[in-house]
Amino acid sequence: MRKSRALASAGAAVAVLGLAAPLAAADGGRNPSPSNIVALPGVIARGGQLTITADGCPNGGHATSNAFPRTNLTPVHGGRDTARGTATVHYDARAGSYDITVHCSGRSLTRPAAFTVLGGVRGGLGGSSTEGATPTDMAIGGGLVAAAVAAGGVFWMRRRAEKQL
C-alpha cells in the first residue's frame, strides 16, 4: 500500500511539472522581451560614448533617450539573447540623470535614471564668470600690497638702525 501511494505521488508530480514546463517556455521562446538594461559608464561627460547592453534581444533592436540619438543594438554572439550598442551623448545635453528605453522583439522596456550626464565648466576663464576684478578683489589686493610695503619699511628701518650701532 505504501509503494502505491509513493508511486501515485511521484506520478502526479511528474504530470504537473510536465505540463507546466512547456507553458513556461512557450512565451519566452517565441516572444522574448528586453530586460536588464545596463549603461556604461554610469556617469559620462557631454559628447562621450555610452555602451548600452540589454538582455532578451536575440535579434537586436534599438535604444532611445533624450541625451543621445536613436542607437541600434546588435546581437552579441555567444551572449544568451544579449544585444549591445554604442551611443554618443549630445554635446548640448543638460546635466542630470537620463532614462534609456530599449525596443526589441516588438516590446519595450525603460530603465529610469540609467546614466548621468555631468555639467561642463567654462574653460579658459579660470572659473570666473565676470570680466575684470570686482571691488572686493581690489580691496583684498590693495590690502596685501599695503601690508607688504609696511613690512618692507619696518625691515629696512631695523637694518638701518643696526648699522649705526
89-99 pLDDT tens trace: 999 999 999 99
What is the per-residue pLDDT across 55-96, written as a single tens digit (0 to 9) for each? 999 999 999 999 999 999 999 987 778 999 999 999 999 999
Strands 43-44 and 107-117: parallel
Largest Cα span, the chain: 128
* Stronger pLDDT, 141 or 129, i.e. the higher one: 141
pTM as predicted: 0.56
* Stronger pLDDT, 142 or 122, i.e. the higher one: 142
Question: By C-alpha distance, which of 100, 130, 128 is closest to 113?
Answer: 100
| Contacts for 123 with CB less than 8 Å, ≥ 6 apart | none
* Stronger pLDDT, 126 or 145, i.e. the higher one: 145
What per-residue confidence (pLDDT) applies to 113?
95
Q: What is the mean pLDDT of residues 29-33?
A: 68
Query: In a 10 Å sphere around its CB, with 0-12 CB exposed, 13-18 middle and 19+ buried, how is residue 63 labelled?
Result: buried
What per-residue confidence (pLDDT) applies to 13?
45
Answer for the pair 81, 39: CB distance below 8 angstroms, yes or no: no
Residue 16 has pLDDT above 80, yes or no: no
Beta bridge partners of 35: 55
Query: In a 10 Å sphere around its CB, with 0-12 CB exposed, 13-18 middle and 19+ buried, how is residue 64 labelled?
Result: middle
What per-residue confidence (pLDDT) applies to 20?
43
Residue 52 has pLDDT above 80, yes or no: yes
